[in-house]
Amino acid sequence: MLEIQRIRKDRDALVEGLKKRNFDAAPLIDTLLEKDSLWRNKKTELDELLSEMNSIAKQIGEFFKSGKKEEAEVLRTQSLAMKESEQELRAMVNALESEIQELLYQIPNVPKAIVPPGKSDKDNETVFEAGSIPNLSEDALPHWEICAKYDLIDFELGVKVTGAGFPIYKGKGAKLQRALINFFLDEAEKAGYREFIPPHVVNQASGYGTGQLPDKEGQMYHIGVDDLYLIPTAEVPLTNIYRDVILPNEDFSIKITGYTPCFRREAGSYGKDVRGLNRLHQFDKVEIVRFEHPDRSEQAHEEMIEHVKGLLNKLNLPYRILRLCGGDMGFTSALTYDFEVYSTAQKRWLEVSSVSNFETFQANRLKLRFKGADGKTQLAHTLNGSALALPRIVAALLENNQTEAGVVIPEVLRPYCGFDIINA
């Protein structure tokens, strides 16, 4: 949610910036500003009326105490008369406030200057590429066939037990999952992130705090009886730890990480895009989250990108980094970099991480603030990124590392796995 003060001050710049999302904010923002200025008038009127009523009430008290009943009665009638216009004004102010709130919810975050314009993923900018794509034989298998061949991940069995998109990991397949989770967590810890194990279910307030609600209600699994949501990402519980927090001073830098399963309903996808591990209803992910002073968030963003690069380098996977264009960026983000690894057998790039700076957009809803040197509170910046999401990493590892002898486990994972090849 954008700050209303910012909209008042920078109307033109915001409208201009939002064009990069192919979003014409002008009509929305202008009705918003109109309502806002009306609201301020009415609010002032109401405040003045209340002030008067307060002082009358106080006088009545004094008159009663000193026994001046008649004077008190006069004022009482007067106050009673004012009550009607008070209620009228209050209703108007409340209505305007909720209308303004409603409008604010509809405005996405403003892309930073560096974000390229564009409509879809085709307009994303590749800013970095690393690793080499292996030459596999013509009969190289896609990961779902490798999974079947070595009995690593059973998609059919998952259908039986739960439904499509809930695979069952078996044997070395399961062990590989654990290995990756531990590897990612250890790397995050080395980079200074403190590990948390959060709940995998959150309440409504948390859903609103990070912006999944109300916009993405349908994408989360909802537990009706208890009115709780299965988390779509660890971002939700981890970020909400700092909901309604005022940090006592301005030299903070909070870095946290956590592994959780993630649950996504992801309705409306089909075909080869969702084959195997490409898209699941439940998957595992290690998330990194940061809370930073506005002056330091860009630097933090860079560090997070370096961290993810390090992971992919160590896993020896070919990857590229995309700077998302305005049209492809999430609603709440000001700048997002996506990491994609190359899946050689499928001959396509798979998104494995998304690292975003939300600036104050999330913090405004979360009410995450800090006290500046001048004693005033202001909004902090939030950032988060996957480091990393497992399924597509597993897909790429299986496909890219397949050999005659079996699937070769990358060096760094061997201590975690306890084996160096999957061949049976």
Partner RNA sequence: GGAGGGAUGGGUGAGUGGCUGAAACCACCAGUUUGCUAAACUGACGAACGGGUAACUGUUCCGCGGGUUCGAAUCCCGCUCCCUCCGCCA
Note whether 348 binds RNA by CB under 7 A: no
Stretch that binds RNA, among 27-35, 49-57, 177-185, 384-392 (CB under 7 A): 49-57
Strands 381-389 and 168-169: unpaired
DSSP letters, 278-333, are SS-SEEEEEEEEEEE-GGGHHHHHHHHHHHHHHHHHHHT--EEEEE--TTTS-TT-
Note whether 296 binds RNA by CB under 7 A: no
Note whether 76 binds RNA by CB under 7 A: yes
Note whether 323 binds RNA by CB under 7 A: no
Binding string, 7-46, against RNA, x = CB under 7 A?
A: ---------------------------------x--xx-x
Question: Residue 21 CB, nearest distance to RNA (Å)?
Answer: 25
Note whether 266 binds RNA by CB under 7 A: no
Give the C-alpha separation, 177 to 150, whole Å. Answer: 15
Residue 377 CA, chain-centre distance (Å), reads 23
All residues at 6 or more sequence positions from 359 whose CB lies less than 8 Å from its CB, including other chains: 109, 112, 294, 297, 334, 381, 382
Note whether 56 binds RNA by CB under 7 A: yes
The smaller minimum CB distance to RNA, of residues 240 and 353, is found at 240
Binding string, 374-413, against RNA, x = CB under 7 A?
A: ---x------------------------------------
* Selected binder of RNA within 307, 369, 381, 392 (CB under 7 A): 369
- Give the gyration radius of the chain's Cα atoms: 27
| Footprint of RNA on 207-246 (CB under 7 A) | 246
Stretch that binds RNA, among 15-23, 27-35, 74-82, 230-238 (CB under 7 A): 74-82
Collapsing DSSP states into helix, strand and coil, what is residue 44? Answer: helix
- 10 Å CB burial of residue 26 (0-12, 13-18, 19+) is middle
The smaller minimum CB distance to RNA, of residues 249 and 269, is found at 249
With CB under 7 A as the rule, give the number of residues binding RNA: 28
* Selected binder of RNA within 79, 182, 282, 423 (CB under 7 A): 79
Collapsing DSSP states into helix, strand and coil, what is residue 341? Answer: strand
Tokens of 120: 């879809």
Return the HEC string of 121-149.
HHHCEEEEEECCCCCCCCCCCCHHHHHHH
Binding residues for RNA (CB under 7 A)? 4-5, 40, 43-44, 46-48, 50-51, 53-58, 60-61, 64, 76, 79-80, 83, 246, 248, 369, 371, 377
